[in-house]
Amino acid sequence: MPVKYKKNQLSRGAGVLLAVSSLPSNYGIGALGAEAFQFIDFLKSAGQKYWQVLPVGPTSYGDSPYQSFSAFAGNPYFIDLDILIDETLITLDEVQSYDWGSSAVDVDYAKIFESRFKILHTAFHKSKHINTKAYRAFCKENAYWLNDYSLYMALKFQFENHSWLLWPDEIRFHRTEAVKTYTDLLKGEIDFWKFCQFKFFEQWHKVKQYANENSIKIIGDIPIYVALDSADVWTHSTLFQLDAERRPIKVAGVPPDAFSKDGQLWGNPLYDWSTMEQSGFDWWKKRMEYSVKIYDIIRIDHFIGVVRYYAIPAGESTAVNGSWQTGPGIKLTDAIDSAIGDAQIIAEDLGVVVPAVKKLLKKTGYPGMKVMQFGFDDNPTNEHLPCNYTSNMVVYGGTHDNETLVGHFTDMKSKDAQYAKKYLDVKKKKNIPNAIIRAGYASVANTVIFQAQDILSLPNNCRMNFPSTIGTNWRWRLHKGQLTVRLAQKLSELVEVYGR
């Protein structure tokens, strides 16, 4: 057990949470081009060790990176168009002929959806990739998921972007003959979706290599669950709690709490853990093997679900009528550890942490999380306060689901604000956010991560996500040049003073 603990404990350092979609670009959404490399330069100059991203999979309805068409594929939106221009696969005039949205700091997903695949089709038809050694190697290396995902996406567009549950029965049930028939029928489109993955990972690996060369580790984020409308559920239906018609029996979420009287109804299909265990958790092993190829450190979202998960009967309109069920626990984490080599895990253990979760974290050595925003409720024993931290944990000012620090502490209760000022030794409420950042850096926790919005002292209109809502989330983007030399110097000074 001590060996595991040493392996999983992150080295002392600091980092920034920034979604790829939030990088600046001329074409509506962040991408894996020059701005990604410039962000890495900023991190290096700021003395940072970590870049944490949100999940990078292709997004579906609602645009959430936590609801993806695949647990393996990359998001074609992130393919940098300027690189494709340099490769003469498209022209600047072609790119500029599309409407990418009217705001440089907001992602208009409807316009991205209408335009991105059209310009990528243009690049695909000009590309000579299909006969290259690199492309053949990519297809072979990723055969476990690439063929299924590419067929799935071709079928989605064939059937007007409907979920696979609404496809004709022969292909909805993934019958062998139907799969063969549609694979032949849609060969051109299947090749297009493979091309998109090839270009995504070609660009991603160059970004990751540059980060690693500059001593920056990338923290990836993987949702514990997959979306119902995904290649994973369509292809591997026996691994999920589905009925004879392949519809969910129970779905994922979390129960009512102080923040939500109805709880959160996520709607993801739940795993059939007993079936997964019979295969030695093979699907999870392959998922983790894939993850360690693209990330240095893997954050497992809703890690609590490994120990116990909340099951809501399908068809419910809220999460009120769910029940707790027992998860696979250490059987799954042992399988994960067998698949990840020297990579490290962060366990997102926020929420009601039962003793069994704490016991599993102790056995695995995985660092859990603390959120500084949650600490200031006039209770000195609050586990999210810096005075109660231990070394093996990852501390955040706030996550993608939280308010910005400025927004949170502007609107907080007077009593809590008074306590925060006393704790942080500041005179004015407006000084609390910067004092929070300093306190995080000064803490004993090995790793501290702040959102880009928080190191920039931005208000709540720059918030990334409002849980349990759709339509206005995942849209915030940086201005070009917003991450300044002065800001890098400020962070670098904190790194130096507090040994990060």
- Which residues are CB-neighbours of 221 under 8 A, at least 6 positions away? 52, 53, 54, 55, 65, 298, 299, 301
- Residues 362, 2 contacting (CB under 8 angstroms): no
Secondary structure (H, E, C), 99-133: CCCCCCCECCHHHHHHHHHHHHHHHHHHCCHHHCH
Distance CA 168, CA 183 (A): 15
Residues 58, 166, 223, 134: what is their CA dihedral angle, to the nearest 10 degrees? -40
Give the C-alpha distances (Å, rounded to integers) separating 93 from 81, 85, 178. Answer: 12, 10, 41
- State the Cα–Cα distance between residues 17 and 30, nearest whole angstrom: 14
Q: Which helix (H) or strand (E) holds 146?
A: helix 143-158
The candidate with the shortest Cα–Cα distance to 189, out of 222, 230, 158, 224, is 158
The one catalytic residue among 301, 337, 349, 454: 301
Which residue out of 191, 272, 401, 416 is catalytically annotated? 401
The active-site residue, picked from 80, 337, 348, 349, is 348
Specify whether the CB–CB gap between 482 and 456 falls below 8 A.
yes
**Is 401 a catalytic site residue?**
yes
Residue type at 1 in one-letter notation? M
Query: Is 362 in contact with 4 (CB distance < 8 Å)?
Result: no
| Own/partner long-range contacts of 170-175 (Cβ < 8 Å, ≥24 apart) | 172/234, 172/246, 173/246, 174/234, 174/235, 174/237
Residues forming the active site:
301, 348, 401
